[in-house]
Amino acid sequence: MTELSIQTVVGGPVEVNTYVVSPVDGDQCILIDPGADAADIKKAIGDRKVAAVLLTHAHFDHMCSAQPWLDAGAKLYVHQADAPALADPAMNLATMIRMNLVLPLADALLSEGDVVKEAGLELTVLHTPGHTPGCVCYQYGDILFSGDTLFYKSYGRIDLPGGNCREMYTSLMRLMQLDGETSVYPGHGIRTKIAWERGAYR
């Protein structure tokens, strides 16, 4: 598989991890969960063109800096179950911090097993509900962008609107079946590996 360049930009209202991902030396990239400060994301992008914005779910903190790149022509990807939250500040929880965040309709509504082909990369969609109905992880070989499903020694909140304890458990059990050496890039906090997390979810 093509070697990846992965840059992590941390910031925004609740310290989200935004990932700038491209082939090494590629001239295009994708943004996963652009919720960090737009100026910091722009520095990480450099001269590359942003081909697409991929959301792991439609909460405000994971998409509050997306608009500049959508305006510049980047495609927007989100799971179909979270699509209604793009245009609803109550559903995307922006109203919790008195923000009015509305994004346009997505260019692609994702489902389990879809493959996102952008910027010379192919990422497989794993539908992992629990934090929200439309939470997804994006897998590229032995790399997993897990959003708010799996963190280092923890997992996403299930007490927010759309959260579901049983679905979260099922999603975590599914992720534990991945190769233990899979590197996990979460929506918040530090990186982990599937092997390091298995003890907590078996």
Give every residue of the chain whose pLDDT is below 70, as ranges.
201-202
Please report where in the chains the tokens 């989200």 appear, as a residue: 16
How many domains, the chain?
A: 1
165 exposed, middle or buried (CB, 10 Å; 0-12, 13-18, 19+)?
A: exposed
User: What is the helix, strand, coil percentage profile of the chain, to 5?
Assistant: 25, 35, 45
- Residue 144: give its domain's CATH number: 3.60.15.10
pLDDT score recorded for residue 96? 93
CA distances from 25 to 5, 64, 114, 194 (A): 8, 28, 26, 28
Phi, psi (5° rounding) for residue 131?
A: -75, -45
User: For residue 66, which of 84, 49, 54, 48 has the smallest C-alpha distance?
Assistant: 54
pLDDT score recorded for residue 201? 62
Q: How far apart are CA 66 and CA 87, in angstroms?
A: 13
The residue range of the domain holding 152 is 4-200
pLDDT score recorded for residue 185? 98
Residue 151's beta-bridge partner residues? 154
The sign of the CA dihedral 123, 126, 129, 130 is negative
31 exposed, middle or buried (CB, 10 Å; 0-12, 13-18, 19+)?
A: buried
pLDDT score recorded for residue 101? 97
Q: How far apart are CA 167 and CA 84, in angstroms?
A: 20
Element (H, E) at 11: strand 4-11
pLDDT score recorded for residue 111? 98
Q: How far apart are CA 157 and CA 173, in angstroms?
A: 16
Radius of gyration of the chain (CA): 15
